[in-house]
Amino acid sequence: MTVSGESAPARAAMILAAGRGERMRPLSDATPKPLLVVRGETLIERQVRSCARAGIRRIVVNLSWLGAQIRHTLHDGSRYGVEILYSDEGSVALETAGGIVRALPLLDDPFVVVNGDIYTDYPLARLRLAADADAHLVLVPNPPQHPRGDFGLREGRVLAEAAQRVTFGCIALYRHAMFAGCEDGVRPLKPLLVRSMEHGRCTGEMYHGLWEDVGTPDRLAALNRV
């Protein structure tokens, strides 16, 4: 049941899959990072299935580096019970916000965004937006490779500056309004998030379940040893 003042569950999602994956080289030289396999399943297929379990039926995947391989793997999404559309960014990825802005016409409002290279069991169906928020972020405890964290969290609101910081888990729910006025082109996400936080329009939650940033060959190997 939706709490009064909260958004209904999202019906659309974007999986970010355009990046080069420099830290994953040499594995990512021939295989896009979202197609690397953890415990018998590619990272991006795990995300697609997670979306399907949450009742999300339209997924947009942005493409750049070796994007044809991702398109060939996922096709139209029918085998997963979803519709998959593609936002092709060409030879130069547009960074996170740039990729989202280009894909906005394909996305219902609000919409989920999740990185294609994280390994998590976070249940996307529980994502909700407060009536006075344009963004809701899933935050996780700081992993060893990112000990300083990204943002603070106080009484459900995310803060750009805080003494105690936690890590943005690259899972979020956004309104189109978050990207109002943004033109097509290369654009990082953090300045838009900070602007939202400064206006008190960014909420968040801590998640203490399974979450791994599969960013390097060593972390990939460690996950596959478990």
pLDDT digits (tens, 9 = 90+) for 147-170: 999 999 999 999 999 999 999 999
Enumerate the β-bridge partners of residue 148. none
List, in order, residues 6 or more apart from 155 with CB less than 8 Å away: none
pTM, 2 dp = 0.94
| Mean pLDDT, range 96-120, rounded to an integer | 96
Residues 159 and 200: beta-carbon distance below 8 Å: no
Which phi and psi angles does 81 have, rounded to 5°? 80, 25
What's the CA gap between 10 and 7, in Å, rounded? 8
Kindly list the domain boundaries of the chain, sorted by start residue: 12-225
pLDDT digits (tens, 9 = 90+) for 23-68: 889 888 899 999 999 999 999 999 999 999 999 999 999 999 999 9
Q: Report the SS3 class of residue 147.
A: coil
For the domain made up of 12-225, the CATH class stated in words is: alpha beta
What's the CA gap between 207 and 217, in Å, rounded? 25
pLDDT digits (tens, 9 = 90+) for 171-204: 999 999 999 999 999 999 999 999 999 999 999 9
The pLDDT, as a whole number, for residue 21 is 82
Residue with tokens 């609000």: 110
